[in-house]
Structure 1
């Protein structure tokens, strides 16, 4: 949950399906990746808030997919996706360089077999940098990043969605998880709180050419009222207020999150 501006150069939970759901991803390889001892204990401790098996199943991720993760940060999902896709698929981490490549290098140093085939590219790609070619991805996933792009302005957020649309194959899936701002709130809060309205995210995706396929409440948290003194960073794991009311925020847990699946039309 980084407050970073984007500079672009150029199912145990209730499910509301808008179109028929895709064939479910095989749970065995995914469950094995989530349960792998290669994952850091600190990341595993957050599974109860991030629900990786349910979330990736909802997005339809399969071991044979080419998956691009946009702005993977410190590699929380990289630890799961790269080993799962190693044999039959492909994992690409797309984000600011050198941070993204450094993250993958650390994982590869931990286990070259599990992470060795993963690739890091730039997003956005500047002159001379390798990016994601158009039409190569089966799935494009991004977790809690739309607010970062929105900090750079609506046009820059839109450019990110336009770029994700281009990198997907026709029929490909965009999966988005984002901190959720209640629809009744002033949209100006999106520029500083770390929360986004679901309608705003859907609008960016729709303008890029995506069709909303389904929503899931798998990452919902009704305890989160999204009106904290330091925005979403008031809550765990950041605890921006440090020890002030820490027990209160720990009891709330991590943020309420939308989980949206979009399709690129064939």
Structure 2
């Protein structure tokens, strides 16, 4: 892993890391892979994607998870490739990125998303070394060769599996991650966070999940929690919006209705959890 960033850049990233819990020693370093920082700053990234960095904190988040040159990484359900466009060039030539996307037989939105991602792999030099696999809880679980991955990453996906397949869907997904990882491999999870004092039933409709639930299901799948961070926390988000998490940017599900209010809140409050395969 190459280090030695300029002082200003290091200080900027260190500021983003100050929300980490005090017990997360690995997340407080101000040194980062030059390839990772370069990928995040790449001019090929659209203005709209760059605008979301303030909420998603990609360099600080990936640093917290421990991303390094030479790793084999699996990104789960990459969608249009927001995180992939940072991961792919950062690992290109010195690592491997598997994109565990929707199954080939998908239809509608899922097919369009998969086709769009395939087009990037075929035509965008940043994505040229990405390996596409299939993932869907319960039905498509071979996201990478067994025990081959150093890291599996999932960003804002757990609620989808829970809303469609409840606990069994989530547990099935986490077991697939465990199977793909090497012993001691890392699972990084970012998810919309539901306050612990709220009714569990809200997880079925709001798009928010309780952090305690995510930690418990990971444990059931053979992981232990090794660190947690507030890198992606947003104290302005009360997680009780009319149309769930989709009320907030970037979706703004209410359209222009109180749009200024929800834009002022910003994107959702999110847990950032780092697990290790036992």
Aligned to 2:19: 14
TM-score relative to the length of structure 1:
0.89
Q: Does 1:196 align with 2:201?
A: no
Relative distance call for 1:126 and 1:116 in structure 2 (3 A) is farther
1:145: which partner in 2?
157
Alignment partner of 1:63 is 2:69: yes
Q: Residues 91 and 243 (structure 1 numbering): CA distance in 2 closer, same or farther, change over 3 Å?
A: same
Secondary structure of 1:153's match?
helix
Q: How many residues align?
A: 254
Question: Does the residue aligned with 1:102 lie in a helix, a strand or coil?
Answer: helix
**Structure with the larger RCO, 1 or 2 (CA within 8 Å, 6+ apart):** 1
Shift of 1:62: 1.1
1:71–1:123 Cα contact (<8 Å) kept: yes
Structure-2 residue corresponding to 1:47: 53
Shift of 1:131: 3.9
Cα shift at 1:19:
7.2
Q: For the structure 1 residues 47 and 127, does the alpha-carbon distance in structure 2 shift closer, same or farther, using more than 3 Å as the test?
A: closer
Find the partner of 2:172 among 144, 147, 159: 159
C-alpha contact 1:59 1:261 (8 A) present in aligned 2: yes
Following superposition, the deviation at residue 244 of structure 1 comes to 0.5
Moved more, 41-50 or 194-203: 41-50
Residue 93 of structure 2: which of 87, 95, 116 is its match? Answer: 87
Which one is further off, 102-111 or 87-96? 102-111
Which residue in 2 is equivalent to 1:174? 187
The structure with the greater share of residues assigned to helix is: 2
**Secondary structure of residue in 2 paired with 1:226:** coil
Find out whether 1:232 has 2:232 as its counterpart. no
Contact 1:13 1:218 in 2 (8 A): yes
Q: C-alpha distance in 1, partners of 2:191/2:43?
A: 27
Q: Does the aligned pair in 1 maintain the 2:33–2:68 contact within 8 Å?
A: no
Match of 1:223 in 2: 236
Q: Is contact 1:101–1:120 with CA below 8 Å preserved after alignment? A: no
Equivalent pair of 1:95/1:123 in contact (CA under 8 Å): yes
Q: TM-score by structure 2 length?
A: 0.85
Q: Once the 2 structures are TM-superposed, how far is the Cα of residue 134 of structure 1 from its aligned partner?
A: 1.1
- Residue 73, structure 1, aligned to residue 79, structure 2: yes
CA root-mean-square deviation = 2.2
Structure 1: stretches of 5+ with no match in the other structure = 1-10
